[in-house]
Amino acid sequence: MNIKAQFGMVMNLDKCIGCHTCSVTCNNTWTNRPGAEYMWWNNVETKPGIGYPKEWENQDERKGGWVLKDGELELRAGKRTNKLLNIFYNPDVTPIDDYYEPWTYDYETLIESPEKQHQPVARPKSQLTGDYMEIEWGPNWEDDLAGVHETGWRDPNMRGLEEEVKFQFEQTFMMYLPRICEHCINPPCVASCPSGAIYKRDEDGIVLVDQDACRSWRFCMTGCPYKKVYFNWRTHKAEKCTFCFPRIEVGQPTICSETCVGRLRYIGIVFYDLDKVEEAASVTDEKDLYQAHLDLFLDPHDPKVVEEARKAGYADDWIEAAQRSPIYKLAVEQKIALPLHPEYRTMPMVWYVPPLSPIMDSFGNGVDGIHPQMIFPAIDDMRIPIQYLANLFTAGDTEVIRSVLKKMVVMRSYMRSVQLGRQPDQNLLKQIDMTEETLREMYELAAIAKYSDRYVIPSSHREHADNMFLGQGTAGYDFMEGCSDCAVNPNMTDSYQFGEAYWGDIGGRTSNDL
Amino acid sequence: MSTYDQFFWLIYPYLMLTLFVVGHIYRYNTDTFGWSAKSSEFLEMSRLRWGSLLFHWGIIFVFFGHVAGILVPKGFYEAVGITEEMYHFGAVWFGGAAGVATAVGALLLLYRRSTVSRIRINSQKRDFLVLILLSVVIITGFTNTVGYTASGGAFDYRETIGPWFRGILTFTPDVELVTSAPIGFQIHIFSALFLFGIWPFTRLVHMWSLPLEYLNRNYIVYRRMQGKKLTNR
Ligand code: HEM
Ligand code: SF4
Ligand code: SF4
């Protein structure tokens, strides 16, 4: 057994109100720089829709993720030799126009306009060229199904739905899907990078890009099936969600979670067995990938696992965190959280509790009074949402979706009985194969969980990163980069300055010029 | 031998080659972040396609052509039984084809960089300098190959420029060998040396990062906090 800890996130989609707070705070924290302004490491899409970038799920075009070739796991975009032969021109790049051309507004005319008969207008200006432009697509063009009667047809999750059924989908349902990098257990972005600049952190599974090692070969963006590696057009380097590692390392949740208005995000760690990953990612039937992924996770209460984790160097606070992990509870114990597109074989680690609301909506108001025995047949009937959700979360397996939705219905009904002092219907519990205890835990985690229950984040043990005594009193000289990077002396400047001076210096324009 | 000759064919070459070597060490140590191919494909794909493909595949052949023509002495070919005709056939046809591809590619890249505004505006001056210089080097080189070799011209670079350059590399320079070379060749040599001099300070450093280690690396890279690189699978 080769035990590893891995950070994961679960989002409860029923609670997402589509407010984009997460995207904005993430952008303010990480990407409000020239070259990165178009990046939304966290974005919230309205589904159905083609998303951001356009049709990111259409892997026939985008070529992301892994496929099975003769039983072997291989990158869909091609293997190593193929990459080197295409290094001068990667035919599978998703160009910036498929995200959107970033723009700002010509605010100056508002202030400096002379008195005129008509109000002055701030026209949009491209941040790539500084020219005036027409806005024809943006990062969230399809918000609340805008224009989806046109774009919705190109949503790959619509496959398996018959034409006439499809025609009604925009009346049928709508949901929000907040997305960040999945910090995959089997990350194709890492595998795609010829320089080895993208890596997975051994201690906690966070996937990062080494900015000094990135050589601009731009294969990682193709490799990621979720299109969550972005290309900074200013520095010519790949950038991606960092899982807010500086916050995580001190036990704080990511900024998107911290600021989430719906309080729908959970963060925790799970233990998994690294030796089993390849086998799990290579199961033949795509529908088995969800189960294979679940089987990777180790039971943190199992004494054998605890012992192995200690041997692997995980401290007691990490083991405790794994035992209290909301991720483990939601994914493994309650089995209501599901991975996004398991068929990409990436073993993603941001999971989702599918939304029940599209189904409940069809009953109109006063839903809570409706008896599960009425809703169950409806769940089976509602082909569109079920199939659609299955295409998102279970590689098309509708049974899993049904079982999750039924659990959510039963949980509500059970808690209702408890609150009203009635005898809960034991028969219902049997139908969903859950004990009262887990059902109650499910309720607590969903409805009344405190900050410290939603985010169980063990601090990183930086104090073990190096022998701190060795560094005592040294001036920080090392062999190649001299002491410019590590100097304590404020007179020594950092070699990379990311202020306006730096941007001006590399010949590009700064935000001031726009 | 005039001072003029001494400068152009002795001092200047060593100056540029020194810059080339020392400059790379300097740049790598002071600007690791800037060491990249600076791909602009994300902003513009269709024109890059032919420009980059023609240029790069062309320049690879051109490089090996130079090894064969300049670094390998003429005597070697005679010893292994490659006749003058066979050599010239190769030089003209393969060298010519590679030259055309490279030249067309470079000009396409230059055209793209100057006309696509999102590329032009986000270029550094040195991105233009590199492309212009490369175009000069390639076009003078190509016209020399075609002009002199194909027409069976009297000038044989394998008995003049080749030995001179090998002399420079082995620190036994003989300036006399190139002083009488035709002006086309002289411009080619001069501009190529200039390119070597600025090479370390431009995007051209990406050439050294050709990631061959990818071929036998494990797919998934892990790194530990201690900074040791670990790979798995
Ligand atoms: C040996 C391996 C080489 C590799 C792997 C390589 C790879 C690349 C890549 C990935 C790009 C970026 C293309 C893009 O915009 O997406 C590039 C651009 C470029 N390369 Fe290379 N290259 C190599 C050798 C060379 C050599 C030997 C030269 C010239 C002597 C060269 C000159 C250039 C130039 C001038 C550009 C910029 C093109 C532009 O204006 O956009 N490369 N190369
Ligand atoms: S989701 Fe994140 S870890 Fe997974 S392939 Fe994409 S960038 Fe890499
Ligand atoms: S902040 Fe929370 S509720 Fe708002 S869009 Fe993001 S995930 Fe949804």
Residue B198: CATH number of its domain? 1.20.950.20
Q: Are A388 and A354 in contact (CB under 8 A)?
A: no
pLDDT: is A504 or A18 the higher one?
A18
pLDDT band, very low/low/confident/very high, at A147 (cuts 50, 70, 90): confident
Residue A141 to residue A147: CA distance in whole angstroms: 8
Query: What is the phi/psi pair of residue B229, to 5°?
Result: -90, 125
Residue A174's pLDDT is 84
**Does residue B109 have its Cβ closer than 6 Å to ligand 1?**
yes
Residue range B89-95: mean pLDDT, rounded: 84
Residue range A245-249: mean pLDDT, rounded: 95
Q: Which fold has domain A8-248?
A: Alpha-Beta Plaits (3.30.70)
Q: Are A508 and A34 in contact (CB under 8 A)?
A: yes
Which residue do the tokens 């016209």 mark?
A: B143
Residue A129 to residue B120: CA distance in whole angstroms: 9
Domain count, chain B: 1
Which value does ipTM take for this structure?
A: 0.92
pLDDT exceeds cutoff 80 at A371: no
In a domain, B221, yes or no: no
pLDDT exceeds cutoff 70 at A485: no
- CB proximity list for B166: less than 8 A, separation 6 or greater: B70, B71, B73
Give the pairing type, strands A175-179 and A198-201: unpaired
pLDDT exceeds cutoff 60 at A270: yes
Domain limits, chain A = 8-248, 479-514
Residue B19 to residue B26: CA distance in whole angstroms: 10
Which residue in chain B is spatially nearest to A93 when comparing CA positions? B42
Helix axes of A303-311 and A316-324: crossing angle, nearest 10 degrees:
140
Residue A447 to residue B203: CA distance in whole angstroms: 55
In a domain, B159, yes or no: yes
- CB proximity list for A313: less than 8 A, separation 6 or greater: none
Which ligand 1 atom is nearest residue A87's CA?
10
Residue A14's nearest CA partner among A173, A198, A234 is A173
Query: What's chain A's average pLDDT?
Result: 87
Integer-rounded Cα Rg, in Å, for chain B is 20
The H helix count followed by the E strand count for chain B is 10, 2
Residue range A219-233: mean pLDDT, rounded: 97
B232-to-A66, A81, B221, B222 alpha-carbon distances in Å:
17, 20, 6, 7
Residue A437 to residue A454: CA distance in whole angstroms: 18
Give B81-129 as a DSSP string. Answer: T--HHHHHHHHHHHHHHHHHHHHHHHHHHHHHHHHSHHHHHT--HHHHH
Residue range A253-277: mean pLDDT, rounded: 97
* pLDDT tens for each residue of A101-124: 999 999 888 989 898 899 999 999
Q: Does B171 touch chain A (CB under 8 A)?
A: no
Q: Does B228 touch chain A (CB under 8 A)?
A: no
Interface of B with A in 188-217 (CB under 8 A): 206, 209-215, 217
Q: Are A181 and B203 in contact (CB under 8 A)?
A: no
Binding residues of B: 56, 66, 188, 206
Which residue do the tokens 């057009």 mark?
A: A233
In a domain, B33, yes or no: no
Helices (H), A242-281: 245-248, 255-258, 277-281
In a domain, B166, yes or no: yes
* pLDDT tens for each residue of A161-186: 766 555 565 556 789 999 999 999 99
Residue range A366-391: mean pLDDT, rounded: 76
In a domain, B179, yes or no: yes
Most confident of A488-502, B72-86, B100-114: B100-114
* pLDDT tens for each residue of A399-432: 999 999 999 989 988 998 999 998 888 888 888 9
Strand partners, A499: none
* pLDDT tens for each residue of B105-156: 999 999 999 999 999 999 999 999 999 999 999 999 988 877 776 666 667 8
Instruction: Determine which of A84-98, A138-152, A184-198, B5-19 has the lowest per-residue pLDDT on average.
Output: A138-152
pLDDT exceeds cutoff 90 at B231: no
Q: Does A434 touch chain B (CB under 8 A)?
A: no
- Both structure tokens of A234: 């200013």
Residue B91's pLDDT is 81
Residue A501's pLDDT is 42
- pTM equals 0.90
Q: Are B145 and B92 in contact (CB under 8 A)?
A: yes
In A27-181, DSSP assigns E strands to 43-47, 66-69, 72-75, 103-105, 124-126, 175-179
Of A202, A237, A481, the CB nearest to B29: A481
Residue A348's pLDDT is 98
Measured in residues, chain B has a length of 233
- CB proximity list for B66: less than 8 A, separation 6 or greater: none
pLDDT: is A145 or B215 the higher one?
B215
Q: Are B164 and B177 in contact (CB under 8 A)?
A: yes
**Does residue B206 have its Cβ closer than 6 Å to ligand 1?**
yes
B196-to-B13, B141, B183 alpha-carbon distances in Å:
9, 15, 20
Interface of B with A in 37-66 (CB under 8 A): 37-45, 48-49, 52-53, 55-57
- CB proximity list for A266: less than 8 A, separation 6 or greater: A9, A10, A11, A12, A257, A326, A327, A330, A445, A449, A454, A455
What is the residue range of B100's domain? 44-215
**Pairwise CB contact (< 8 Å): B220 & A200:** yes
pLDDT exceeds cutoff 70 at B161: yes
Residue A165's pLDDT is 58
Residue B88's pLDDT is 82
For chain A, the first-to-last Cα distance in angstroms comes to 56
Residue B88 to residue A436: CA distance in whole angstroms: 88
In a domain, B9, yes or no: no
- Proportion of chain A in helix, strand, coil states, percent, rounded to 5: 40, 15, 45
Which ligand 3 atom is nearest residue A259's CA?
1
Question: Rounded to 10 degrees, what is the CA torsion of B146, B149, B153, B158?
Answer: 130
**Pairwise CB contact (< 8 Å): A202 & B225:** yes
Q: Which residues of chain A have a CB within 8 Å of the CB of B204?
A: none
Q: Nearest C-alpha of chain B: how many angstroms from A299? A: 23
- Torsional sign, CA B45, B49, B55, B61: positive
In a domain, B196, yes or no: yes
Query: What's chain B's average pLDDT?
Result: 90
In a domain, B122, yes or no: yes
A91-to-A58, A88, A212, A510, B44 alpha-carbon distances in Å:
16, 10, 25, 30, 12
* pLDDT tens for each residue of B58-74: 999 999 999 988 898 88
